[in-house]
Structure 1
Amino acid sequence: MDKIIPIEKNGEYLVEITGLGHEGEGVARINDYAVFIEGALIGEKVKIKIVKVKKNFAFGKLLEVIEASKERREPVCSIYKRCGGCSLQHLSYEGQLEFKKNRVKNSLERIGKLKVSNQLPVTSDQLPVPNKEEGIILHDTIGMKEPYRYRNKVQLPVGESNGELKVGFYAARSHEIIGMDTCNIQDEVADKVAALTKTWMKKFNIKAYDEIKDTGSIRHIMVRKGFRTGEVMVVLVTKQKELSNKEEFVNLIRDNIEGITSIVQNINVKKTNVILGEKNITLYGKDNISDYIGEFKFNISPLSFFQVNPIQTEVLYNKALEYAGLTGNEIVFDAYCGTGTISLFLSQKAKKVYGVEIIEQAIDNAKLNAKENKIDNVEFIVGKSEEVIPELINKGIKADVVVVDPPRKGCEKSLLDAIGEMKPSKIVYVSCDTGTLARDLGILEERGYKVREVQPVDMFPMTGHVECVVLMSRVEK
């Protein structure tokens, strides 16, 4: 018998919010049927309109907050409800941190089938340290003192709508550009560059790219800033190599942007959603800028991967280093090492670090970063971690500690199997996805490991994203 759906599309209902979904959307239940409502908070009574109905759940639009949560805040952004960048500005920052901790807890228990301790991880003389065998210690989310203006990189689409030039962000789940004058999670320099670029385009009648017709010139504006160095890079992404009035653009940016170090034209001739092309032409200054994470210096090109929140990245990496518990005698494998940022942190206290990454350009950057910082106890290898690590083991090279920092899809099962067979004393798992993290931790527990501690870190305030660092240790059966 088919399930009877107790609501209908376009119907209006008064509901109470009893939970928050994966991205922080409110969850209400009508006769045990789930309805997701963006912008609603736990404990609120709200009026909604049903906009989409599925077999087991529906989506509602928030029409009115009848009874507001004490955690509700007025968003600081004027386009918050239209832009797809932030999802939690209406929730207090303390509430955001608690939501992210609960999101991690729910994933560990529901997906990983892991037990989280209900005891606080205290270490004072007055209060007992929880028995780690009773469950995982899940720490409070580490937040930022100032949860705005934290991003060191912004990519702004450029387009036209009804003859009006727009520079801003895409609306949620669409390619409609929402024009913006300021973004409160980006560095202020991005606001200035966007305004100057619009002025230049209007003055010289430079056309924005039309992704439907595949015509026009300016596709995106990218701004990168070194938070410690103050160096600024401006990248103009164009459809063609030919760029009229580029000298005027260079002069405008150079004369008005403090710290300008590099102005680059990136050429992307393809009809694609990929933002950057492969060809760069430096119009002014250097080919790259530099910045620091901890004591390590990194060179950043237009195409380089570099963490967008350097303040919290340092927190994340220091926690990974702490969990690794290195004494100077250990061999460490860093799987999915990227451009070597975590590897360099680990090198401070390890005997030798082997970093493995499938993307050759990232390994080239990792080697340059090691050379720049005069690090000689790190070796970087191109290849799939699940293939390279067994090869290292066959050569007699075994790790005492393994660090993994996989993409959103998590680790390959064959890699987890190889780690289990190698039996390192510790595994440190750095994750950007709570679901695949919980799945992989469950697999590793079956391979003879115990999850000891989980530390959520808020890398992206005002959004639903959360990063985690996890400590696992070997349990002899």
Structure 2
Amino acid sequence: MSKKKNIIIENVTVIDAGAKGKSVAKAPDGRVIFITNALPGDVVDVQTTKKKSAYYEGFATKFHERSALRVTPVCSHFGYCGGCKWQDMNYENQLYYKQKEVENNLVRLGRIAIPEVSAIIGSEEIYHYRNKMEFSFSDMRWLTPDEIQRADTIEDRNALGFHIAGAWDKILDIDQCYLQADPSNAIRLEIKRFALANNMPFYSPRQQTGLLRSMMIRISSTGEIMLVIQFFSADKKINLLLDHIGDIFPEITSLQYCINNKGNDAIYDQEIICYKGRDCIYEEMEGLRFKINAKSFYQTNSKQAHKLYEVTRNFAGLTGNELVYDLYTGTGTIAQFVAKKAKKVVGVEAVPEAIADAKDNARANGIENAVFYVGDMKNVFNDDFIKANGIPDVVITDPPRDGMHKDVVTQLLQIAAPTIVYVSCNSATQARDLALLDELYEVVKVQPVDMFPQTYHVENVVLLKKREKK
């Protein structure tokens, strides 16, 4: 092999699927190769892009043999769009490798004893399962390798679609997306068509100019639709577009917009203006109604969220007499889902709007045994908080991808609740936290749940029980 940093390694057999959707192979020198665009069973030539003492990173440039796991992707954008990295792998094997990742993370990263991991709960719907999608506008769309060769002849560079991974200013124009049900595609395409016909400038992230910036579509399990369009500046054409979309799609329940001239697209600090209909839509689960506004967090796969929460509630083993803490409660969905089987539920969340929603939802659902607090978890979840609310019988924790702050873990060890149910969207950081809890808790059950078919992401629920004193 060449001594150059980036080399080509020929006739490599892919042997496994690794973290973040990358496949795994072995180089002749014994190093691991992480490959971005291959599947287990492929035999490929690899162009390396990074070389470290223990591994290479790269991508397949030639396929000598195709894996038996392969299926034909349904999306014409597959390979360029980063949203569905496993769309070329059959779903049965997607589930296999997701479960394997959970097992590997808990054992290898956590270095703790775990029971046999329960079979992953797959999704009945492997397409059109997302209730929320966000799309971005750009006046300089990303070009495919073929288009780059004739870039000078391409006049229309406007795009409405997804960010290209690793290129913050590049947007892939999307014709059809298979992640969200109709009329999602129809609404997006009509907005783009109308904007072009009426000379509405698309946003330039580099120059920070233009009018149309981003859009979000939510479609609830009840069939209600929310559309939020983000504009860079005020313009008389805003009303023109909103009136048109409202007329063409009268089924839109909530039509909203905001003016955002910041350097980023985040809307959480922006004023959202309701143009037509309600300022919210509603989700339903087991007779509970949840108010969803433009800034609300709600699990993006409604049907699988129900299964996830069922696992969580079952793991909690509630009899009606327990005090339950729901850490990182969000809009209080889990808290309210378990409240009818608990004596009292205490939810904590850092986002004020989420707690406001949680309180509104609890009130609307007639739930009187749930209370909610707002604040940074590592600061709020302290000795005074425990003294005021009592030592819990059960702690449910559902932190963000980074896992729990070390101070939160320390407090959990100090209060020593008999049962902890840990819900995670990142089994790697979950494994780290479980290792810290291992001195006092043992893992009793592990249940992965697939929330995002066609991707490498997986949720995992772990039941921990306080160890008996010897």
> With structure 1 as the length reference, what TM-score do the two structures score?
0.91
Q: Secondary structure at the match of 1:79?
A: coil
Matched, 1:210 2:204: yes
Deviation larger for 175-184 or 40-49: 40-49
Matches within 5 A, 1:84-99: 84-99=82-97
Matched residue, 2:214: 220
Matches within 5 A, 1:223-262: 223-227=217-221, 229-244=222-237, 246-247=239-240, 249-257=241-249, 259-262=251-254
Matched residue, 1:302: 294
Q: Work out which of the residue numbers 459, 465, 468 in structure 2 matches 1:473.
A: 465
Distance 2:156 2:75 in 1: 25
Identity of aligned pairs, percent? Answer: 36
Q: Work out which of the residue numbers 279, 302, 315 in structure 1 matches 2:307.
A: 315
Deviation larger for 208-217 or 51-60: 51-60
Matched residue, 2:342: 350
Matches within 5 A, 1:257-268: 257=249, 259-268=251-260
Query: How many residues of Structure 1 are paired with residues of Structure 2 in the alignment?
Result: 452
Q: Work out which of the residue numbers 11, 14, 18 in structure 2 matches 1:17.
A: 14
Distance 1:390 1:7 in 2: 57
Matches within 5 A, 1:52-67: 52-67=50-65
Distance 2:252 2:214 in 1: 18
CA deviation digits over 1:89-111, x for unaligned, max 9? 11110111111100001101111
Question: Residue type of the partner of 1:27?
Answer: V
Distance 2:186 2:198 in 1: 19
Measured after TM superposition, the shift of residue 330 of structure 1 is 0.5
The answer (yes or no) to whether the contact 2:381–2:408 under 8 Å persists in 1 is no
| TM-aligned CA distance change 1:168 to 1:395, over 3 Å | closer
Matched residue, 1:171: 164
Matches within 5 A, 1:61-460: 61-116=59-114, 136-161=115-140, 163-175=156-168, 176-227=170-221, 229-244=222-237, 246-247=239-240, 249-257=241-249, 259-274=251-266, 278-386=270-378, 387-395=380-388, 397-446=390-439, 448-460=440-452
CA deviation digits over 1:168-198, x for unaligned, max 9? 1112221311111111112222211111101
Question: Residue type of the partner of 1:213?
Answer: Q
The answer (yes or no) to whether the contact 2:112–2:438 under 8 Å persists in 1 is no
Q: Secondary structure at the match of 1:138?
A: coil
Distance 1:285 1:411 in 2: 39
Distance 1:216 1:396 in 2: 51
The answer (yes or no) to whether the contact 1:84–1:173 under 8 Å persists in 2 is no
Measured after TM superposition, the shift of residue 390 of structure 1 is 2.4
Deviation larger for 437-446 or 379-388: 379-388
CA deviation digits over 1:357-387, x for unaligned, max 9? 1222221111111111111000111223344
Question: Residue type of the partner of 2:407?
Answer: S
Distance 1:403 1:74 in 2: 40
CA deviation digits over 1:316-339, x for unaligned, max 9? 011100000000011011111111
Matched residue, 2:37: 39
Question: Residue type of the partner of 1:231?
Answer: E
Q: Secondary structure at the match of 1:264?
A: strand
Distance 1:211 1:309 in 2: 30
Question: Residue type of the partner of 2:173?
Answer: G
Question: Residue type of the partner of 1:413?
Answer: K
Unmatched 5+ residue regions in structure 2? 141-154
| TM-aligned CA distance change 1:58 to 1:476, over 3 Å | same
Measured after TM superposition, the shift of residue 32 of structure 1 is 1.1
> With structure 2 as the length reference, what TM-score do the two structures score?
0.92
